Structure 1
């Protein structure tokens, strides 16, 4: 009798567990509105311009899907964590589903408006002020069209029930760094931060109440910048990263943290969260084996050879004629062992570790967690 009861009880537990997995837990946030650059672009740039070539997407999607990675990005893991589908790019005209938010990020985006065209500077025309305008237009369309029975738009109350995520500013920091040096970049950084906080205040007016702002990554550890930015051996730390550039990033992050604290005081009923992605990524670069990784300052996808496997003339997935030879930047066979995907962006493995970290203890200010039932 006891064994029979235990078997029946076990069967009930299995059935309940099955339906919990099948239906998924309901979380307090019903959508994501994302603002950013290639670190969180889920395909916006590649719907405006040519498609990202293979081997991008090789790990998870098995094909290119507009992400500068072998697989999922941090924004994808955040979506999984709150139980919503991957966020559709705002610029994707076919096959998008905006019932759980929209992604305005595009590769090469900046916070400040670029002063020249994409074909001159390499910077996206979809800077943060443009992304904000797209968001305002999106909300206006939702308010107007949802009652007409749209199958791809969210209900109007989504704007107060969503996460507003920011992962942007890296291109403002790095785009002229090789030309002007750190001192040449510093004067515009307060303008970058001011634009971010002003955008948060505008989104607050649209109904946004929870804002997650990721700080800048330790670019001094990235293969592309180790190849392209001037430095000497004295500027390299024990982990192979450039000290001066990483210190400059830390200065920016401190300013961003202070500005977000001030914004929080101005919006007392909002959650304005500083997300220390820098801390999580630096941990990966300094102690990769503690997280199951092996390679840090070398790109998985590249054709540079040498210590970094990065060639600025031949980017991941491309073939170019260099010095009379056709060179192709190919991917490694084990991206799950790398921090860096292509020299500028991180792998899916690294993205997952970072997201797991930032939703743990000590990576957000104030402390932040997502409640699911």
Structure 2
């Protein structure tokens, strides 16, 4: 048998061993989920803190704006459903919320590193550092309130028990806005150093959560930012090599890939530094790129097409806003069938696309180690 054949056989054997390990371990009985991220998983933070989402956001599932930058549910909503949880309430939202099964600290425009921007120029105060600080406060105040509640079980059901925190799953989906900021500064600073620094800041926050008792981490890498519909839609007559076969901007995706590679290496390092933790790295980039590459085969329109908003003849009116085109006021509403689109507003995905991606990542197909989210509290052995 030649070397390549031997390697292939070894890979098959190890894959079978991994599969057997997955099937032999019991499902994790997670009592709660705590999420950290940006607008890809924000279920109402920015809407509660600043301005509410405008119609037609939320039209597909909620039939009204529901704090999400989509026509319906996000990947985090499908994660919650898979784990048997109700939809996660945003930590900062005070109306009609329940935290009995966890809380969501994600906020639109959030970054891993601090950015010198405000909400009014596309920034947010809710960096990952702030989100973990909010979690620390939530954990401390919840424990105090839970103990003071005594036999008032109706109040207790609104919050996680103190013993739930180390048994919970901690999901993280952030970094896209950091890469976008780095792309905007190409040529002004060393992007390699910037990306390394972003990843180091991420590692610090994971370590801080670990110190607070977090043990199971489900970590998404960043998606193909060069394939965002708003970028693809506005790329006209590119020079050779600027875009790939799908129309995605190569150098932007290359920066996302570099971030993802360094993030994956950091997760490997964290496994050795945090021996009691289980850290699953999820290749969201590959899942999203697979959808974009096979859009028509999977029943979607061209991935550069945007469902909600007006982007024609140099006029850009964002989803749910009004604007003047050729002297006439128009409302930038949604397409007739959002379920056939990948992109909701040029940056965020539709519920149909989010569901498609969730269906493919939750079983562990894009994970390292290759383990389903329902089993992710178990760290598989390495070959």
Contact 1:182 1:245 in 2 (8 A): no
1:302 matches 2:309: yes
CA distance in 1 between partners of 2:267 and 2:28 (Å): 25
The residue aligned with 2:230 is 224
Structure 1 SS opposite 2:304: coil
The residue aligned with 1:250 is 257
Deviations 1:77-102 (A, max 9, x none): 00000000111001101111011111
Query: What TM-score do the two structures reach when normalised by structure 1?
Result: 0.86
Greater shift after overlay, 69-78 or 27-36?
27-36
The residue aligned with 1:326 is 329
Query: How big is the shift at 1:55?
Result: 0.7
The residue aligned with 1:162 is 168
Contact 1:335 1:347 in 2 (8 A): yes
Alignment of 1:2-13 (within 5 A): none
Contact 1:58 1:71 in 2 (8 A): yes
1:81 matches 2:82: yes
Alignment of 1:171-320 (within 5 A): 171-175=177-181, 177-180=183-186, 185-226=191-232, 232-234=238-240, 235-305=242-312, 313-320=316-323
Deviations 1:144-203 (A, max 9, x none): 110233342111111112111111111111135245369654432112111111111111
Contact 1:27 1:82 in 2 (8 A): no
CA distance in 2 between partners of 1:182 and 1:332 (Å): 39
Gaps of 5+ in 2: 1-26, 150-154, 376-383
Contact 2:364 2:372 in 1 (8 A): no
Change (3 A) 1:343 1:52: same
Contact 2:179 2:255 in 1 (8 A): no
Query: How big is the shift at 1:289?
Result: 3.2
Structure 1 SS opposite 2:265: helix
The residue aligned with 1:353 is 356
Query: How big is the shift at 1:232?
Result: 2.5
CA distance in 1 between partners of 2:159 and 2:236 (Å): 48
Greater shift after overlay, 231-240 or 81-90?
231-240
CA distance in 2 between partners of 1:331 and 1:107 (Å): 21
CA distance in 2 between partners of 1:179 and 1:224 (Å): 19
The residue aligned with 1:146 is 146
CA distance in 1 between partners of 2:77 and 2:359 (Å): 12
What's the Cα RMSD here? 2.1
Structure 1 SS opposite 2:218: strand
Query: How big is the shift at 1:322?
Result: 5.5
Number of aligned residue pairs:
342
Structure 1 SS opposite 2:279: strand
Alignment of 1:44-83 (within 5 A): 44-83=45-84
Greater shift after overlay, 172-181 or 44-53?
172-181
Query: How big is the shift at 1:268?
Result: 1.7
Deviations 1:4-26 (A, max 9, x none): xxxxxxxxxxxxxxxxxxxxxx9
CA distance in 2 between partners of 1:229 and 1:204 (Å): 43
Change (3 A) 1:176 1:80: same
CA distance in 2 between partners of 1:187 and 1:323 (Å): 45
1:367 matches 2:370: yes
CA distance in 2 between partners of 1:178 and 1:324 (Å): 32
Query: How big is the shift at 1:228?
Result: 6.2
The residue aligned with 2:130 is 130
Deviations 1:242-291 (A, max 9, x none): 12211221111111100110001111221111110111000011011343
Contact 2:182 2:194 in 1 (8 A): no
Contact 1:71 1:347 in 2 (8 A): yes
